[in-house]
Structure 1
């Protein structure tokens, strides 16, 4: 397939899927459902939503500060404001083109701080490795905390899970052995990717400010969880959810971001499905998902858009 067509499909399909899911979601709602969801929007306590947005801003500021720890060993001392604006621009770009935000971020910091694109992108990749490890940790916590619920509710069959994990483990070991010995281009790509992950982890552990980096990484993800948690108090139906429901809802919502741009059309459905399992009525659960997704998306649009405008203004000399 032509590379240009691939690029177009890679950009258009996630957005198209998200738009389709929104249409499908709305088409399945009865008039009573629409009225109930609309009433939830009207009666929600938006002070909790504003608190969530404030926590989100703190996470972005922390992410920009953490990035400095990766850049300074390269011999550069970028302005903190430039780091903040380029981080926000990356989030905005990711809403339109999946994973393009990382390239936009590296390009912007190259333009305004003179940091070579490849070096900047390398630091961003190392950051992402730390974020993936944190996400996997939270997924593990979610599974551990809710193991009894998942097993007792029949959502997961213990016997089948053990068999599946065993089979997956055996297949994984065989695949690793074959990839190590193979010279096929695809196998080389996988090896390069895995070695890159390993190098990224090593670079974090060897950096001068590794403990500060680790602190900010934990802080960023704590803010993400709290962003999600505080919005549950905006609606009476979700205000008394147990910690297990919060962490499961957060995980499935986070995973939905990988399906469409910014979780378009998917995030509310995934989060609502998780909350329904814990006894929340369907329409309030859906309302929560839409309130959460709308608030996050508007924050990215507003602050990302302002960053596009302000970045060249505060760097007029460049």
Structure 2
């Protein structure tokens, strides 16, 4: 019970932080101006296209997950796998990181696939997603290198950080930490924290290399790339739906996609708050006005999460009906 209360309080804490960030971002915004932009300045055909691209990315993720499951168990049906994926996304909106467990539980129930093996495939997925996000970040820096350097030089004051890492204080801290590790080495190796970190590393390592059992590796990597290409296009096509982002170009779209993705990684339901902060800050840097950037973040985030809520709820209703004939 205490563990459940602790978990619930942690979830509420992160949600509260996200709401506070959202309030802080929009506290000085004129609601009438935001509504005017959303009502009059948006080409909603582009938003609909964005949602279609989002659904295609979920289908691609479904196929990739099937390919990961097949070597460790039987290949599940595409319909059940897709519905489980969408239920997982819905669960993530309620409780961060719950979606990974939820979709494994749903697919295990309806396809009679080992739950623990499904969890192992999700670890693989998460490792691949992290690698792709880091590659997207590297591509963003390469494509927008001059902009990135200008941002660091003119918009960020990192002199304090540089001075700290070059100071004798930092050297003293490093020496003290190294000495403490040597003296308390045995205690560290026998600590519960060490075993937890070791377990996480082993899962990470297992997930990183488990793709080797996939039968069609070229197709598997095509879907891994396709998922992130569709994610990027899902954001970039929205640029054409707003007059103030239409001329920014794919480089700016890549920056909004990558930095917005880091906002979505935050342990807050649906990335509420952190996502808006990252997207608004990025658009401001590219010269978009504050009300326009705020409206863009609000509408894009709302539409994408609205699509997940609708498809997730429909999946919850559909999956028992789809499998009704197979139930005893």
Using structure 1 for the length normalisation, give the TM-score. Answer: 0.89
> 1:75, CA displacement in angstroms?
3.2
The answer as to 2:251 corresponding to 1:254 is no
Residues 105-158 of structure 1, C-alpha deviations (whole Å, 9 max, x = no match): 111011101112111111111111111110111112222323322322423578
CA displacement at 1:163 relative to structure 2: 8.0
Q: Which moves more between the two structures, 134-143 or 180-189?
A: 180-189
Residue 240 of structure 1 corresponds to: 247
| Corresponding position of 1:311 | 319
Q: Whole-Å Cα distance in 2 between the matches of residues 315 and 189 of structure 1?
A: 38
Which consecutive residues of structure 1, in runs of 5 or more, have no partner in the other structure? none
Q: Which moved more, 1:37-46 or 1:243-252?
A: 243-252
Q: Distance in 1 between matches of 2:200 and 2:17?
A: 28
Q: Tell me what 1:21 maps to.
A: 21
2:306 paired with 1:298? yes
Provide the residue aligned with 2:68 in structure 1: 70
1:34 CA drift (Å)? 2.4
Contact kept in structure 1, 2:240 and 2:246, CA below 8 Å: yes
Aligned pair in 2 of structure 1 residues 272, 197: CA closer, same or farther (>3 Å)? same
Higher radius of gyration, 1 or 2: 2
- Report the counterpart of residue 208 of structure 1 in structure 2: 215
Counterpart position of 2:12: 12
Unaligned runs of 5+ in 2: none
Structure 1 residues 117 and 51: alpha-carbon distance in aligned structure 2, compared to 1, 3 A threshold = same
Q: Does 1:277 align with 2:277?
A: no
Structure 2: how far apart are the matches of 1:92 and 1:74? 26
The answer to whether the 8 Å contact 1:150/1:156 transfers is no
Report deviation, 1:161.
7.8
Question: CA–CA distance in 2 between the matches of 1:2 and 1:99?
Answer: 20
Matching of residues 1-318 of structure 1 within 5 Å: 2-29=2-29, 33-43=30-40, 44-153=42-151, 154-156=154-156, 182-259=189-266, 260-316=268-324, 317-318=326-327
Change beyond 3 A, Cα 1:53–1:277: same
Change (3 A) 1:183 1:94: same
Using structure 2 for the length normalisation, give the TM-score. 0.87
What is the aligned length? 312
RMSD: 2.7
Q: Distance in 1 between matches of 2:165 and 2:291?
A: 35
Where 2:88 maps in the other structure, the secondary structure is helix
Query: Does structure 2 conserve the Cα–Cα contact (< 8 Å) formed by 1:94 and 1:101?
Result: yes
Which deviates more, 199-208 or 177-186?
177-186
